[in-house]
């Protein structure tokens, strides 16, 4: 009888945990997928219709990165005080407000003001609080759950570009902004229904497969002490160097190819295709991390991202297949902006320090995106091309890989799990 009750409780925990994962995925779909990734569709139109310079277009995303970084730095403190669910929903509310402001904007400064709230949405409704929700609900298969949650950003990147391009061309820029804000409001209500801070709040236990997690064993043994400060800061620096390639590097893809003469319809299809690979890549990283260890997952992801940026540097060659290949490999490297940071934090930290390291890695990533945010526009105005910026992003990603893999080898974590 007790076995039957325990089995029923386990199934209830599993069902609710995956529903919570769905809610987290919808939240990330909104604040990162629609708020960050899909914004690339708007950028060429801002330059064309609002007559902004390349540098002004980059400064709008820089304002977003600045307040994204500040909100990430304070997100964990607010979550401890007010609860994860409240902070996440407030972040989604910032997203809705930001897109209504974008729709009403008539000047460069008003666009920057709207971008501020988009940044707050990313910090309070994004990876930092959502990762903490997943860590509380999933004892096993956490890497897969994180990857599945982050795949929501890929779905929005698939669907949004052709829809937004059609809306802008047929109904205007402001209509597209307002429509996205209304859609975000509906998603906010759905997330509010699905997410709970912890399983204990609804009388459940964290999800577990019932088997001993082979990946957890090394982490437990490494929990006798924190990583040395030099290695801790090397990991933070690796996240910083990832910020440019995965932040402005992605958000300027549309203007990179538009500036090289690709039609807007072709660019929208490329970004949608990017979203398909992005969705797959985030689930793939989590699966590889659980099955082969984080070191192997890092090598695969960094290698793909580096190859993708190399191909982006060839954007001046008028070839759609080459551009599609660039999008393929760049998207395969994009888990470094989200899932990887959470996995690194789990590998490097003790349970009590997990929240803190997630915050530091995410904040450092956003700082990297902030510092490099204006660079593509400035270099494009100077050299007439975005390619020099992508050469810089390529060098940055190589530095990040060297740092993070060095930390993994020094700490002796992230190895392939044993079968025993």
pLDDT digits (tens, 9 = 90+) for 288-312: 888 888 999 999 999 999 999 999 9
pLDDT of residue 214: 38
313 against 76, higher pLDDT: 313
pLDDT digits (tens, 9 = 90+) for 341-391: 888 988 887 555 777 888 889 889 988 988 888 888 889 888 989 999 999
**CA distance linking residue 343 with residue 219, whole number of Å:** 11
Q: Identify the sign of the CA torsion 129, 178, 101, 270.
A: positive
CATH class, domain 13-201+215-411, is mainly alpha
pLDDT of residue 218: 37
Q: Give backbone dihedrals phi and psi of 139, rounded to 5 degrees, phi first.
A: -85, -35
pLDDT of residue 112: 93
pLDDT of residue 351: 55
Instruction: Check whether 418 has a pLDDT greater than 70.
Output: no
327 against 47, higher pLDDT: 327
Mean pLDDT of the 280-288 span: 87
Helix (H, G, I), strand (E, B) or coil at 262: coil
Domain ranges within the chain, ordered by starting residue: 13-201+215-411
The structure tokens listed for 106 are: 């008539």
Judge whether 395 and 270 are in contact, CB under 8 Å. Answer: no
pLDDT digits (tens, 9 = 90+) for 217-247: 334 344 445 578 889 899 999 999 999 999 8
19 against 355, higher pLDDT: 19
pTM here?
Answer: 0.76
The candidate with the shortest Cα–Cα distance to 68, out of 411, 380, 364, is 364
Judge whether 195 and 91 are in contact, CB under 8 Å. Answer: no
**Radius of gyration, alpha carbons of the chain:** 21
Mean pLDDT of the 168-189 span: 94
**CA distance linking residue 368 with residue 225, whole number of Å:** 28
The CA angle 354-91-367, to the nearest 5 degrees, is: 60
């Amino acid at each position: 009888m007790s076995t039957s009750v325990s089995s029923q409780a386990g199934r209830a925990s599993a069902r609710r945990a995956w529903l919570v994962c769905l809610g987290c995925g919808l939240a990330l779909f909104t604040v990162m997928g629609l708020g960050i990734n899909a914004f690339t569709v708007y950028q060429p139109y801002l330059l064309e219709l609002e007559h902004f310079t390349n540098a002004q277009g980059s400064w709008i995303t820089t304002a977003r990165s600045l307040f994204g970084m500040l909100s990430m730095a304070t997100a964990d403190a607010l979550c401890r005080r007010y609860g994860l669910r409240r902070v996440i929903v407030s972040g989604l509310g910032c997203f809705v407000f930001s897109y209504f402001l974008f729709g009403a904007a008539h000047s460069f400064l008003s666009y920057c003001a709207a971008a501020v709230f988009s940044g707050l949405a990313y910090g309070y409704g994004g990876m930092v609080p959502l990762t903490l929700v997943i860590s509380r609900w999933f004892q096993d298969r956490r890497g897969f759950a994180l990857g599945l949650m982050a795949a929501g950003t890929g779905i929005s990147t698939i669907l949004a570009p052709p829809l937004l391009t059609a809306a802008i061309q047929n109904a205007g820029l402001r209509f597209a902004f307002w429509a996205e804000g209304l859609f975000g409001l509906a998603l906010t209500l759905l997330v509010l229904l699905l997410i709970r801070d912890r399983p204990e709040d609804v009388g459940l236990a964290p999800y577990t497969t019932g088997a001993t997690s082979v990946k957890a064993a090394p982490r437990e043994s490494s929990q006798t002490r924190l990583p040395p400060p030099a290695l801790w800061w090397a990991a933070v620096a690796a996240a910083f160097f990832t910020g440019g390639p995965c932040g402005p590097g992605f958000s300027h893809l549309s203007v990179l190819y538009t500036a090289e003469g690709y039609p807007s319809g072709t660019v929208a299809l490329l970004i949608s295709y990017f979203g398909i690979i992005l969705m797959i890549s985030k689930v793939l990283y989590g699966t590889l991390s659980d099955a082969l260890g984080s070191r192997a997952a890092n090598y695969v992801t960094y290698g793909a991202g580096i190859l993708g940026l190399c191909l982006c540097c060839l954007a001046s060659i008028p070839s759609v297949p080459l551009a599609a290949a660039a999008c393929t490999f760049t998207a395969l490297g994009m888990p470094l902006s989200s899932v990887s940071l959470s996995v690194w934090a789990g590998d490097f930290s003790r349970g009590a320090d997990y929240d803190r390291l997630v915050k530091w890695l995410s904040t450092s990533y956003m700082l990297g995106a902030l510092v490099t945010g204006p660079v593509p526009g400035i270099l494009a105005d100077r050299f007439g091309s975005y390619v020099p910026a992508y050469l810089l992003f390529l060098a940055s990603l190589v530095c990040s890989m060297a740092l993070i893999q060095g930390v993994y080898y020094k700490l002796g974590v992230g190895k392939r799990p044993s079968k025993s």
